[in-house]
Amino acid sequence: MKTSEIRDMSTEDINKKIEELKSELFDLRMKQSTANLEHPHKINEDRKNIARLKTVLNERAIEGGNK
């Protein structure tokens, strides 16, 4: 997910996407602890996407505007 795509999303969509990625990350961690993952890089990818989403939300909060 690119930052430009995130900036085009509304704040509500960003919050929904964060929750979705957190859920997916939890599932991946559970699978990792019980068995081998097919795509272990997906954990790092999801963590970075969550960070990107939160960064954009923080920038919006600092600006004081909600898109």
pLDDT in tens, 8-66: 999 999 999 999 999 999 999 999 999 888 899 999 999 999 999 999 999 999 988 55
pLDDT at residue 35, as a whole number: 85
* Distance (Å, whole) CA 29 – CA 43: 8
Q: Which residues contact 46 (CB under 8 A, 6 or more apart)?
A: 21, 24, 25, 28
Report pTM. Answer: 0.87
